[in-house]
């Protein structure tokens, strides 16, 4: 498996995360119950870093061998 193939896997993994976050934000905007809203905000807070990490890893694996590409320091030794 190449890094470009791995990158496509990350791209595919981001789609359901992005869709779920959109659903949760839509539900939150219409929520009137404070406890239910808290649960929605909590779930959004849990999924948002996952989406960020998937996007960062997708970019890293897609551009790893590009000359002059600045790699995110979180993913280097």
What does DSSP assign to residue 76?
-
* pLDDT tens digits, 2-39: 999 999 999 999 999 999 999 999 999 999 999 999 99
- What is the spatial distance between Cα 70 and Cα 77, in angstroms, rounded to a whole number? 14
* pLDDT tens digits, 62-73: 988 888 887 778
Residue 65: predicted pLDDT:
86
- What is the spatial distance between Cα 67 and Cα 12, in angstroms, rounded to a whole number? 26
Would you state the structure tokens that stand for residue 60, as one six-digit string?
A: 């890293």
Would you state the structure tokens that stand for residue 6, as one six-digit string?
A: 């791995």
Answer yes or no: is pLDDT of 74 > 90. no
> For the whole model, what pTM was predicted?
0.86
Residue 22: predicted pLDDT:
98
What do you get for the CA distance between the two ends of the chain, in Å? 22
In three-state secondary structure terms, 71 is coil
């Amino acid at each position: 498996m190449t890094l470009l193939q791995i990158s496509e896997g990350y791209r595919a993994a981001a789609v359901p995360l992005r869709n779920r976050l959109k659903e949760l934000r839509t539900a939150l905007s219409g929520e009137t119950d404070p406890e239910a809203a808290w649960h929605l905000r909590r779930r959004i807070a849990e999924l948002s870093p996952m989406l960020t990490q998937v996007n960062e890893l997708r970019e890293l694996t897609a551009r790893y061998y590009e000359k002059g590409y600045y790699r995110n320091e979180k993913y280097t030794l």
